[in-house]
Amino acid sequence: MGDKTLKDIAETMRDIDFVMLQTKTDGGQIAARPMSNNRDVEYDGDSWFFLFEESRTFQDVERDPKVGLSAQTGKGLLGKPPTFIAIEGQAQIIRDKAAFKEHWTDDMDRWAKDGPDTPGLAMIKVHAELVHYWDGDDEGEIRV
């Protein structure tokens, strides 16, 4: 079984811009969509994502905060397979503009023309509870 730590996973996630966020819809289906983590991943297992309050993603998370994240590195080193990461966690909706500013990157200006002050902007923090990883030679899981 693997020997990676949560810090190792956070470092790998920092090198991945887009992840797939899975939520449960009001009809009980699983919905997945790409989300940029802006390489904003903390060592304690938190990932941060901006979204708009009118989005289906926001509505899904508000109704059921249990979410999944999945990610993959581009290529492995020396011909090895890429690293795959699957995370189960709880999402928390954040509407605090001070938190927006803390996690803001200029890349977000593309979607939010008024920056952190854009009307209807929100953020979710996904706190990992269980992390699964596979990197060709090593696989394991980490309970957070």
The CATH label, of 3.30.930.10, 2.30.110.10, 1.10.3720.10, 3.40.640.10, for the domain at 6-143 is 2.30.110.10
Given pLDDT bands bounded at 50, 70 and 90, which one contains residue 43?
A: low
Please enumerate in sequence order all residues whose Cβ is within 8 A of that of 50, keeping only pairs 6 or more positions apart, or say none.
38, 100, 103, 108, 111, 112, 121, 122, 123
On average, the pLDDT of the chain sits at 89
Question: Whole-model pTM?
Answer: 0.88
C-alpha–C-alpha distance, residues 36 and 132, integer Å:
20
Q: Where exactly are the structural domains of the chain?
A: 6-143
Tell me how far apart the alpha carbons of residues 30 and 44 are, in angstroms, rounded to a whole number: 26
Q: Is the dihedral of CA 109, 111, 114, 116 positive or negative?
A: negative
**DSSP-assigned letter for residue 53:** T
pLDDT at 59 over 70: yes
